[in-house]
Structures are given as structure tokens and as C-alpha cells.
Chains A and B, each alone.
Chain A
């Protein structure tokens, strides 16, 4: 019986061998894939096993970490003034994952990024706990505070950019939420999260980056830029041939101005911008045609689905398939035109920066736990929607708006301000409360330090020009003031 016995022994040996091969396959070949699988709870456990690195504004952390006793997770994220900074930080929640900067730089903040390998190894060898790196933002605390407090308990959003670099200085959204309230995984955190999801005001929406509005009359700045660039207008003070009201081409629809503006008839570009003439800009749009308007708008960043700051902004839209009357409507910010507050801040910043649009960004540096810089963002030119001469002409027109037009509420004592008002209509037949817009830039001897776009819900916005100037302009003013004061 020994011959079959030996064969059985070989068979049993093969069984054990098969097991050995299998465990090598699972624990060596497949290990990496299994370790990072999205359903593997160890990923989250690891994320919260060490104090999370901080997000920095003006040299100070706006986040923190605290020990918890909630089950698997040792540390919990905390936020200082979370409601104000929520559009910047996003959230890192034990129960709901991470969002915005917290999500994009998760590996830096937990310290597991490949670039931190050396630090990690040293920490492991010296027996120290792994530490997270830091994300240093470009935001300005004072500007953010001015924006957030200015919006107050109204619904709205503010985006402010440094025109010369593209650095984002303020990014506010109201009503906001405190990411601390959903950072844990207790019942309270879950209730808070559910309540935030159900809130009709959508406090978790990132309005300055991720929500688009009708830009209304603020889009006339884009139309003006296109008219200058494509040679329809050379002298901003020269009269145009514009009837009031203006009949939309190929239709019998009258395009009227809001209120009696006698100067709109054959008004110059400067005058049309000052009192916000629909007729002049509508005709300009129709005259130059869809392609030219779209070309300039796209140079400003419209229709670009990948504006990453590095949080991806929503795509701002200008229709590429509109007919002539629709082009006229688009030229005054209606029809399918939609823009994020960031987009309108970019438009303003390009005008203020003499026609050069800088790529917007909000993360200046990534730092290792020992403060070594591991990544530095350098300003980058995105496009040139305007020539410097045309940009300066447009600046003059926008400065007239603030000096003696609809935007007088944004005047600053120590800087020249150029701006434009607008109203964003919402809902079918304006069934929802409209938003008032104000976009502006400030200019000092050293160039322009800030361009800002403000959009705020205004129940009394019966007339677009007054509303934008009345509610939104003071917010823009205080943000610009904060930036100028901060630069001194």
C-alpha cells in the first residue's frame, strides 16, 4: 500500500502548496489594491489615526484636530470659525468622508503622501507618531471676514482675486455651515448632516465656486471687451447708432431699458455702461455676432469645464448655438448665460490687470510637517482676453460707473475703483428672489491689488442697477478696503 500512500502524500503536499501560493497572491500581489479599496474601512481609520495636518490662512491654522472616543477613529477634525471658512476648507468627516481642500490634499494632511515618505520613515525609526503636512492658502483673513460679515444673514457669495497673480483672497458663501458639526460620527453629527442636506437654503453649496447665476448686467463688461477687441468700438466716448427701444433682429420684440434713460439713445460705450443701457449692449452683441462674443467670453474662462483652483469650479456658460436675437440677449447677461461669482471676479481681474487673465488659485504652498515646502504654486497666465489699450479704455468706463453711475456705493477714499452692477433673475418668470450683483476692482499707485465679485439675494431688487449698487456694492467696497489696508 505504500505506492498509493506516497501519491496521497504528494497530493496533500500540493494542497498545502496551493494554499501557500494563494496567500502570497492575496497578501503580496493583491495587497496594495485591497489596502486602498474604497470600501475598506481601514482607509478611514488610518485617515483619523493621527492628528490631521492644518489648513493655513495668513500664517495661522483655521483647522485643528481633537481626540475623540467615537469607536474606530482616534482624532476628529475641528474648525476655527468654520462657517466662514467652509467654502475654502470643505469638510473632513469621520462619517461622510472629505470634501474640497480636505479631500484634494487628504494625503498631505494625513502625512501619507509619497512626497512625505522620508519624514514618515524618520518618524517611524525615531518612534514618533506620523504627522500630517500643511496646506497654505492664498486667502486673506481680513478680506474673508469683510466678505462673510458683509453678506451677513442674507444669501449670497463673494469671490475676490488678486488680479496680478490670480491668488484668491476671499471666498465666502452664505448661509454657510460649520464643518465641525459633522466631523464626527455620533448621532448628533448625523442629525446635523441630515438637517444640512434637507435645508432649503442649501448651506453646504459652495456658491462662489460651484453655483452659477445669470450674470445680468455685469456681463456687459464682457460684451464691452468683445466690442473693443473686435473693433466695433474704438473710442468709448463716441456715439453709437442705437435706437431706444431696440427691436431685436428678425423679431418684433422690443428690448427696453430699465427706466427712463434718455442718454441710452445713441449712447457712447462709457455712458451705456454708466447707466447700464440694455439697448446699446444688446445691439452691440447682435452686430458683432455670436462667434466673436463667445470667443472673448471663452478667453475670460467661460465654457471651460476645468477651472481648478484646485477645487474645480462649475462651468460658466455662454451659449455657442444661439441665433442673432439670442445673442443680443446674451450680451446683456440673459438667455443661457450663467456665471459663477469666481468667473465674474476673473473677468474683473483681467480688465484690472490690463487685459491679462491670471489663472486663479487658492493654495500657495504644501508643506511637510517640518515646514519644508514640498510644492509651491507660481502664478500662471491663463489668457489675454484684451489688449492693454482696450483694457485701459474699459477701465475708464468702469471707473465712471463708480464715480457717477450705478456703482457709487463702492467708492474708496484711497483708491480708484471701477465696477459694474447687475441683477440675476431666478426661477420661471422671476418667481424666486433675484440676486443683486456687483463686480469691481480697486487700483492704487502700485497697480490693482484686488478684483471682487459679489452676488447677494435682494428682495427689493425692483430695478437692477439700484439693487446691485445698493446691497452688493458696499460688500465689495469693504472687501477691497480690507485688502488695501492689509497690504499697507
Chain B
């Protein structure tokens, strides 16, 4: 990738200015649109033996979204990272195809389960891209967000606490239901807003947190009064775990805080301290909360039967992955519907990838996520202001943790949690929030890579006249 050659330019701004790389982005976008279109045709051929009727509309729709996004980036963020938009488009496009492909299975597309979900997801994706464009147009400079540090904190707290007052769905209280509109997963938005809060807060406090400490056994221990914030966040994430029964969100927020704290203070002691706290919290909660225990049991014995003698979702997911083997069964030819319900379209969408695209396809998807994370972290490295650095590492870190927690849970690496795979999985909140996340990262990278404005011509030279006697 030519962008690696470019890295030298992103950190030091030469007088020549960095190339904008918009044409690279355009070329990559063509692939990002064509690959899902081929996948779409592939499903049609496999299931019905014909090219699906909607292929033109789908190509047009996805192409139009990608095209508009590209033109707007060209205009409003010309120096933004060229990889993030194509990767996000590709993942979103593939997600749409996978959901449409699962819509073709009558057993999991009954009215009781909400019917076909691809049209809705397409609408959410459009809204997501619209929000993406909105952020690019109206957020001229990411440093503006710094002004809203404490407002962000309040909003994030509300978003995190709100689901406790709504009924649990699928065993987790991470939804808020608005009658007539549908349900939202506020955690997805909270992850962006809380990153803004952490970035703003740590920007101000980092010196105090970093320097006022005592050295003990090779570690710099923070002062008691500086422990306050981390303990509050820790308590909050434990409460999420206990009351919303959501291990994923809890892990995400605490992990995000520890990462940002570490980057802000450059003190390893915070990481050690954070890990100790989270381990203590996790063990305590796992010992007392039954729903966490059952998740852990499922994780340790994924293939054991449910109490009623049926095959569990976890086992079905494992069978689905196993069925894929190295090359997969081909799109439209797997049996991931056996997982049942809407789970194959949302939480377990990676299982369908694993079965139908095989180990090869699944690894390609994971590498795409890895690439997106890497571009986010690179943006953090390139950013010139501490707030931008912290915000970028927060967003990229949150994204990485989410991918790890979801994919790790689905494949049985860690206990399962109730989060969704960004862009790929069915779910309006997730797709909208993640498009906004990408937009903010693009804004930061645009600022970082933008050539410094040419020094204003020194007016002194004109104004100061040598008065000759």
C-alpha cells in the first residue's frame, strides 16, 4: 500500500505538503462497492440460480452512498486517511449482503422475528452515511469537541444508565425501547461520547496524574486523590455488568479508560492498577451473578446440551464455524440459520462468514477490521494536538476492543457478550454510531495531514519603513 511510503510525511509537515490521496481512496472505493455486488450476485445464483432482480438497485444504492461520501470527503476533508472510508464501505456492503442472504431463509425471517431485515439495514446505513457527512461538514475542527468535555460526561452517563429502566432483550439490558420508533442501543453512541469526555478530561489532568506519584517497588503509584476518577469508572462498569447484564459494554468502557489513561500519562503503573481492578471486579461478579456464571459455563463447555436437552446457540455457532472449514460452503449454501432467531443476522453474523466464506473469508474480514484499527491508531500518532491524539486512540481503541470482544465471544475465545460486530451485523444504532466514529477519525486525520498554512507574509516588512535621514 502506497500509504506506508507516506508516513514520513504525516508526522513532519514538509513545505511541499502531503499528497491528499483522494484518488487512492476513489480506486479503493470501486473495489469496496464491486466486491459486495459480486457477493450479492453470488448469493442469488446459489439460492435461486438467477442473478437477483435487485442487483442494479443495490449496486446503484451502494455506489451512490460511497460516491457521495467520497465527494464530500474530497471537499471537506481532503487530507483525510484514504483507507478508512473504503474499508468501512466494504464491511457495510458485505454486512448488507449477509443480512439479505439470511433473509432468504424462511425459518429465521418469520413475521414474529421481524421479517426481512436487509431493507431496514440499508436505511440505517444510509442514515449512518448521512451522519458521517454531517460530522464532516459541521465539525470543522475536532478540537471544538474539547469544549463539551463535561456535557459529554453527563450525556454518556445518561446513555449508559438509561437501559436499566427498560426490559431486557435476549438476556441483556442494553436497549432502550421507544414505542413506535423501535429500539436503540445507546451503548454504541456512548462509546464515542465517553471517548470525547476521557480525552478532554485527561488532557487537563494528565500532568497531575502522571507526575504527582510515589515510587514504590519500581512502580509509580498515584496519589489517593487522583485515584478517584478511575475508581468511579471502575464502579460504573461493574454496575453495567451487574444491572445491565452486559459483560461487553462493561469491558469496553473500562478497557477504553485504561488505554486512554496510559496514553495520557505514559505511566505503566496505571495499566497494572487498571488490570488488577478489572480482574478483581470480574472475579467477584462472576462468583455472585448467575447470568455471568451461565455465560462462563457456556464458554467452557460450548457443546454441552441445554437443560431442556436442546442444542445451545453457542454449540450451533461452533458447528457453523466448523462446517465452514478452510474454504467455506459458498455464500448462500450454509446452514447458519440453525443458530435460530435473529441471532445469525446480528450477534452471530461472523458465524455465517465463517461457514460460507470459510476460514479464508473470516480471516480476510478480521484483517479488514485490523486495518481499520491500524488506520485509527496511525491517525492518533499523526495528530498534532494532545486532545486529537487522545480522542483518536480512544475511538480506535474502543473499536478494537469491540471487535475483539464480539469476535472473541462468538468464536469461543472469551465468554459471549451482547455486542454487535461494527458495520457487519444487523442493528441500526451500531451502524449509525460507527459511521460517526469513522467521520471523527477522518476529521482528526485530515487536520493532522493537512499542510500547515503558509506563513502569512510578514507585514512588518512592509509596515516598518526605514526612515532615511
Interface residues of A (CB under 8 A from B): 1-9, 11-13, 15-16, 18-20, 22-24, 26-28, 30-35, 37, 39-42, 45, 71-72
Contact = CB atoms under 8 A, between A and B. Distances in A.
Given A15-B404, A23-B359, A35 B263 contact: no
A12 B396 contact: yes
B386 interface: yes
Contact of A26 (B107, B266, B318, B393): B318
Given A1-B264, A9-B374, A23 B363 contact: yes
B413 interface: yes
Given A23-B411, A42-B323, A4 B263 contact: yes
5 interchain residue pairs of minimum CB distance? A34-B322, A16-B370, A27-B359, A12-B400, A15-B404
Interface in B329-376: 335, 338, 354, 358-359, 362-363, 366-367, 369-370, 373-374
Given A12-B377, A31-B322, A42-B323, A23 B266 contact: no
Given A4-B266, A31-B326, A39-B311, 15 more contacts: A1-B263, A6-B381, A7-B262, A9-B377, A12-B370, A13-B374, A19-B403, A23-B321, A26-B322, A27-B359, A34-B319, A35-B322, A41-B319, A41-B335, A42-B338
A8 B259 contact: yes
B147 to A, nearest CB: 21
B366 A27 contact: no
Contact of B266 (A1, A27, A30, A39): A1
Contacts of A39: 303, 305, 311, 315, 319
B407 interface: yes
12 contacts: A5-B393, A7-B262, A12-B377, A12-B397, A15-B404, A18-B404, A20-B367, A27-B358, A31-B322, A39-B311, A40-B319, A42-B338
Contacts of A6: 381
B359 A24 contact: yes
Contact of A8 (B397, B404, B408): B397
Interface of B: 107, 259, 262-264, 266, 303, 305, 311, 315, 318-319, 321-326, 335, 338, 354, 358-359, 362-363, 366-367, 369-370, 373-374, 377, 380-381, 386, 389-390, 393, 396-397, 400-401, 403-404, 407-408, 411-413
A28 B373 CA distance: 26
| Residue of B262, B322, B373 most packed against chain A (CB within 10 A) | B322
Interface residues of B: mostly helix, strand, loop or mixed?
A: helix
A193 to B, nearest CB: 17
A8 B366 contact: no
Given A4-B263, A5-B380, A23-B366, A15 B413 contact: no
B318 A2 contact: no
Contact of B362 (A27, A30, A35): A27
B454 to A, nearest CB: 27
Nearest to B267: A4
Given A19-B413, A22-B408, A39-B303, A12 B373 contact: yes
Contacts of A33: 322
B366 A16 contact: yes
Given A9-B374, A27-B325, A31-B322, A42 B335 contact: yes
A19 B335 contact: no
A41 B312 CA distance: 12
Nearest to A30: B322
Contact of A1 (B362, B389, B396): B389
A72 B335 CA distance: 9
B373 A16 contact: yes
Given A6-B381, A24-B359, A34-B319, A19 B397 contact: no
Contact of B377 (A1, A8, A20, A45): A8
B266 A22 contact: no
A226 B369 CA distance: 80
A27 B407 contact: no
Contacts of A12: 370, 373-374, 377, 396-397, 400
A469 B259 CA distance: 92
A30 B322 CA distance: 7
A27 B407 CA distance: 14
B279 to A, nearest CB: 16
A34 B380 CA distance: 42
A427 B348 CA distance: 58
A28 B407 CA distance: 17
Given A27-B358, A39-B305, A19 B266 contact: no
Given A1-B264, A9-B374, A16 B412 contact: no
Nearest to B358: A27
A16 B371 CA distance: 10
A195 B68 CA distance: 66
A41 B338 contact: yes
A23 B362 contact: yes
B308 to A, nearest CB: 13
Contacts of A41: 311, 319, 335, 338
